Structure 1
Amino acid sequence: MRRDTFLKSLAAMAAVGSLPVSAQTAALKMMIPANPGGGWDTTGRALGKAMQDAGAASSVSYDNKGGAAGAIGLAQFVNASKGDPNALMVMGAVMLGGIITGKPPVGLDKVTPLARLTSEYNVFVLPANSPFKTMKDVIEQLKKDPGSVKWGGGSRGSTEHIAAAMIAREVGVDPAKINYVAFRGGGEATAAILGGNVTIGGSGYSEFAEYIAAGKMRAVGVTSSARLKGVNVPTLKEQGINVDIGNWRGVYGAPGITAEQRKALIDALSKTFKHKAWQDAMEKNGWTPAWLAGDEFSNFVDSEFASLRATMAKSGMI
Structure 2
Amino acid sequence: MLSALILTGAAGRRSSVLLPSVLLRGAAALALATCLTTSLVGTASAQDGFTPKGPVTMIVPFGPGGGSDLMARSMAAGITTVHPDVQVAVENRPGGNGVIGYNYLRQNKGNPQMLLASETAAVALPLLIQPPPFQWTDFTPVAQIAADSQLLVVPYNAPYKGLDDFLAAAKQKKFRVGLTSTTSSDAIVANLLSRSQNVAFQPVVLESGSASVARLLNGDIEFTILNPSETIGQLKAKMLRPLAAFSEVRYPADSPLGSVPTAKEQGVDVSFAQYRGLYAAGGITKDQADYWADTMEAWTKTPAYKDYIAKNNLFPEFRRGDDFKAYLEKTQATLKQALKKD
Secondary structure of the 1:58 match is coil
Report the aligned-residue RMSD: 3.0
Tell me which moved more, 134-143 or 82-91. Answer: 134-143
Secondary structure of the 1:144 match is coil
* Contact 1:123/1:221 (<8 A) preserved: yes
Matching residue of 2:61: 33
Aligned length: 301
1:237 to 250, 264, 267: 264
Secondary structure of the 2:147 match is strand
Matching residue of 1:157: 183
Structure in which a larger fraction of residues adopt helix: 1
Matching residue of 2:23: none
**Which ranges of structure 1 fall in alignment gaps of 5 or more residues?**
15-19
Matching residue of 1:112: 140
User: Displacement of 1:9 after TM fit?
Assistant: 4.4
2:224 to 193, 201, 213: 201
Where do 1:114-153 residues align within 5 Å? 114-128=142-156, 134-146=162-174, 149-153=175-179
Where do 1:32-51 residues align within 5 Å? 32-51=60-79
CA distance in 1, matches of 2:113, 2:213: 32
CA distance in 1, matches of 2:216, 2:328: 31
CA distance in 2, matches of 1:168, 1:290: 28
User: Displacement of 1:59 after TM fit?
Assistant: 2.2
CA distance in 2, matches of 1:10, 1:151: 63
Relative to the length of structure 2, the TM-score reads 0.76
* Contact 1:36/1:185 (<8 A) preserved: no
User: Displacement of 1:56 after TM fit?
Assistant: 5.8
1:218 to 236, 241, 249: 241
Matching residue of 2:251: 228
* Contact 1:25/1:56 (<8 A) preserved: no
Report the AA paired with residue 114 of structure 1.
V
User: Displacement of 1:220 after TM fit?
Assistant: 1.4
CA deviation map 1:19-59 (0-9, x unaligned): x8634476321111122333222211211122222326632
Alpha carbons of 1:29 and 1:193: their partners in 2 closer, same or farther (altered >3 Å)? farther
* Contact 1:36/1:64 (<8 A) preserved: yes
Where do 1:266-305 residues align within 5 Å? 266-305=293-332
* Contact 1:56/1:272 (<8 A) preserved: no
CA distance in 2, matches of 1:226, 1:295: 25
Alpha carbons of 1:198 and 1:32: their partners in 2 closer, same or farther (altered >3 Å)? farther
1:257 aligns with 2:280: no
Report the AA paired with residue 78 of structure 2.
A
Report the AA paired with residue 277 of structure 2.
G
Larger RCO of the pair (alpha carbons < 8 Å, separation 6+)? 1
Alpha carbons of 1:137 and 1:154: their partners in 2 closer, same or farther (altered >3 Å)? same
Identity, % of aligned positions: 26
User: Displacement of 1:150 after TM fit?
Assistant: 1.9
User: Displacement of 1:254 after TM fit?
Assistant: 1.0
CA distance in 2, matches of 1:60, 1:195: 40
Relative to the length of structure 1, the TM-score reads 0.81
CA distance in 1, matches of 2:62, 2:208: 6
Secondary structure of the 2:333 match is helix
User: Displacement of 1:133 after TM fit?
Assistant: 5.3
User: Displacement of 1:253 after TM fit?
Assistant: 0.4
CA distance in 1, matches of 2:72, 2:215: 23
CA distance in 1, matches of 2:110, 2:284: 5
Larger radius of gyration: 2
* Runs of 4+ in structure 1 over 6 Å off: none
Report the AA paired with residue 312 of structure 1.
L
* Contact 1:128/1:216 (<8 A) preserved: yes
CA distance in 2, matches of 1:130, 1:249: 32
